[in-house]
Chains A and B, each alone.
Chain A
Amino acid sequence: MSSPGRVPGDDLALVDLLDRLLDGGVVVAGDVVLSMAGVDLVYLGLRLVLAPAHKVLSRVGPELVEG
């Protein structure tokens, strides 16, 4: 079954990669010139897409608080 939002099972390193490249802890601001309005929303959106709905409902609150 193809489920476009999910990370393919045989591609788990991708999760580690996105963890590093999108999810904080990381590096130089690359967003200065094209001021990417709502970039944080993009990250949040990606996390929502990757997580199944029931997880989102139970997790999104605390994550928003922790920022």
Chain B
Amino acid sequence: MSAAEPTVVHAYGVVDAATGAEVVMPAGGLGGAEVQVVRCGVLGVLASRVSAESYGEQAWARNGQDARWIGEVARAHHDVLQQVATTVDVVPMRLPGIYADETALRHVVGSAERVLLEALAEVRGHVEWGAKVFDLGVADGGEEDEAPATGADYLRMRSQQASRRQQAVDRRSRAVLDLHERLAHAATHAVLNAPQDPALSGRREPMLLNAAYLVGRAEQETFVAAAQQLSDRVRDEGLLVELTGPWPPYNFGVRPTQERSA
């Protein structure tokens, strides 16, 4: 990127200005750009100056529906946050996090300072873990029935099958709820997200739970052990638990409602 090329500022996340000085900067951010801490009063914002042509508003308008392009931006954005979040408290910024320049960024961050400080307080000392539960549907209780002798037998068998299936569904629902409650108990906060569409999850099986948990850095071992134990317990019910983490705390800090009212 030549010095004369127009640039925009891409922001990754917000840190305490005090800890911002301690951040070991990731080697490269979006498009390989240098990552810096932009000082905004008591807050610092991890940000890069990037090519406006490649990552500015027009680029988003042009590529905003290209999963591959967004995937690359999301990965670069995440890589920066991930490297920082293992040791430093950071409130991730949502994509697209583009600003005309540092002054514009400071203005926005300054006007949201109270909300951002609250967000930092919420995530302080924490990372995020994700848990998804898939319904493998193997526990439908389907022992082979004998061939029905009469029409009445057939209807009775059908009714029993339906009842067994319903019982299995109820059992799995209770198991998922119980698992979530126990994980939430082992975490500081929990958020339930909409299950991913099978086309997005890459799995045929329906997703029953898509949850995120805010877990203290020091509590991670306990949390993961609990998750593994619960995962073993629900496997017989035909439930598959997928645990992901640690993540930067994407699901915590600033809520969309606060965003709008800020």
Binding site for B on A (CB under 8 A): 4-7, 9, 11-34, 36, 39, 42, 45-52, 55, 59, 66
Contacts and interface: CB of A to CB of B under 8 A. Distances in A.
Contacts of B100: 33-34
A27 B199 contact: no
A50 B60 contact: no
Size class of the contact patch on chain B: 35 or more
Nearest to A44: B65
Majority secondary structure, B binding face: mixed
A51 B74 contact: no
A30 B202 contact: no
Contacts of B93: 27-28, 30
B70 A51 contact: no
B26 interface: no
A24 B256 contact: yes
Contacts of A47: 200
A5 B108 contact: no
B108 A52 contact: no
Given A18-B71, A30-B93, A51-B197, A25 B212 contact: yes
B74 A14 contact: yes
Given A34-B8, A34-B98, A36-B57, A16 B244 contact: yes
Interface string B228-260: 000000000000000010010011011010010
B93 to A, nearest CB: 5
B116 A28 contact: yes
B65 A46 contact: yes
B126 interface: no
B166 interface: no
B74 A18 contact: yes
Contacts of A34: 8, 56-57, 98-100
